[in-house]
Every structure is written in C-alpha cells, then in structure tokens.
Amino acid sequence: MRYFFEEYAFDTDRRELHRGTSPVPVTPQVFDLLDYLIRHREHVVSKDDLISAVWNGRSVSDAALTTRLNVARNAIGDSGGEQRLIKTLPRRGFRFIGQVRAAQEPSGVAGYDSPIEPPKATLPLPDKPSVAVLPFTNLSGDPEQEYFADVLTGSPARERKERSPREIDQEVARKAALAYEKWRRDAESRKEEAARENAHQRRERAIEKVQAALDKAEREHTRRVDVIETERADIEARAQAEDARWHKQKSELEKALRRARS
C-alpha cells in the first residue's frame, strides 16, 4: 500500500519514504511508528497503543517515545511546535491529521525509478513552406560574443536579398541589441538559479548534519536508558538476595536463642 500526503509518498510494501522522487532515510522503528499513525489516522492513538504496536509492549520511557515522535516528524517536514501532520493531544494520545490519499500499487506498474511519460503531441505541418536561418557558432571562444550567434536567426535569406544594405544593417543592429539583452537576462537568471541551488544545498547539508546529531543523541539516550534499566534490575536482584540471606540468618539465630533458653 502507498500513502500520499503533501509531497511525500509512504510505501509500506517497500518500506520506503519518498519526498518527491528523493528517498528519505528513516530507521525501522520510526517507519513502524509512521505506519501505525497513518493506518489509524481516523482516530486518536494512545501511548499504550503505540508501545504495543511499535515496541511489542516493552517498557518505554516517555522521553524515548517523544524522541521517536520528533524524529518521525522531522522525516516528513513536521515539528513538535508546528504539528502540521502529527498532532499531540494532551492526556489522550497522538493522531496523524494530514490529508492522505491511499493507493494500492498493482503488479507491473512502473515505480519511482521509471515514471510513465504522457504521450507527446504531434505538431501539425504548416500550410506554406518556410525558411529559417539556424544560429551561427561562436568560434571566437569568448563567451561575451555569444549573443552574435543569434543575430540573423529566423531571418529568411530571400527577405534579406530584397532589402537594401542599410535596412539589413539596421535589422542586424536591432537583433544584436535584442539578442544581447536576452543573453544578459539569461546570464542573470542562471546566476540567480545557481545562488538558489547553492542555498538549497547548504540548507540540505545543514539539515543532514542536525539530523545526524539528533540520531546520534537518540542512540546515546537509548543506550543510557538500557544501561540504567540493567543496573536497576541488577540492584533489585542483589537486594532480594540480601533480604533472603538476612531472613535465613535471622531464623537460625532465633532457633539458637530458643535452644539456649531451654
């Protein structure tokens, strides 16, 4: 089953989360948490329901559950402050409130790697023949002269022959000015696009860095909780053994006291 919400695709069969065509890495536990919330999005899911489904009923602290929810929210572009998709209802539980569209993917359907392209429309042939001059190639090696290659583009040869040299010079000058302006605007547009792409890449790297730090902190927190729980179980076992030893010793001493008095 595939679930679509906002710009995300959640595939339970492949156990994959995609944002557009880009895969979003998630841990198996976070994937199971998202899966349960999305499947039961029609009602509020309690903390006990999540622990039973994701952790198989194992004892989980509130801090560990909150950490997993924050990781899940971050994977789908949500946050604990915004709660646009995963909402926390105090003293009740959690609910996935995003608009979801479910789709069962039939066998043989192209996946993410091979999207189906719509058929291309066929252009009709013109009623009258036309002649066009293709762009010239800039052989100077100077990018600043690139706009000259477009000066005569689209000007029929027969039309140029019927004009005077002055008219042709004026037409060339006009087209050169227009071509240069177009080249300048395209260069500025490419520069702005490159700046936006660089900013996007910096943002993605920053997100990856923070996500890696969050994952590391989560693993360290889980390890510490496991250590504390192990130490607590060991202390309880030692306390029980000490209590049993004391009761045994006390019983023996009481018997000895009764024998001494008799």
Band of pLDDT at residue 138, cut at 50, 70 and 90: low
Would strands 22-23 and 101-103 be described as parallel, antiparallel, or unpaired?
A: unpaired
Q: Which residues contact 16 (CB under 8 A, 6 or more apart)?
A: 10, 23
* Model pLDDT for residues 11-64, shown as the tens digit of each residue: 999 999 999 889 999 999 899 999 999 999 999 999 888 888 888 878 888 888
| Across 4-8, average pLDDT | 92
Residue, of 237 and 112, whose pLDDT is higher = 237
Nearest-CA neighbor of 103 among 43, 38, 42, 44?
Answer: 38
| Across 237-255, average pLDDT | 89
* Model pLDDT for residues 60-108, shown as the tens digit of each residue: 888 888 888 899 999 999 988 888 999 999 889 999 999 999 987 654 4
Q: At what angle do helices 165-261 and 62-75 cross, to 10 degrees?
A: 170
What's the Cα-to-Cα distance from 90 to each of 19, 44, 46, 93, rounded to whole Å? 30, 11, 10, 6
pLDDT at 112: 47
pLDDT at 150: 56
- Sequence ranges of the domains in the chain: 2-103
- Has this prediction a pTM greater than 0.85? no
What number of CA atoms fall less than 13 Å from residue 122's CA on the CB side? 2
Nearest-CA neighbor of 16 among 114, 115, 111?
Answer: 111
Q: Which CATH architecture has domain 2-103?
A: Orthogonal Bundle (1.10)
* Model pLDDT for residues 153-182, shown as the tens digit of each residue: 544 444 555 566 666 666 666 777 777 777
pLDDT at 85: 93
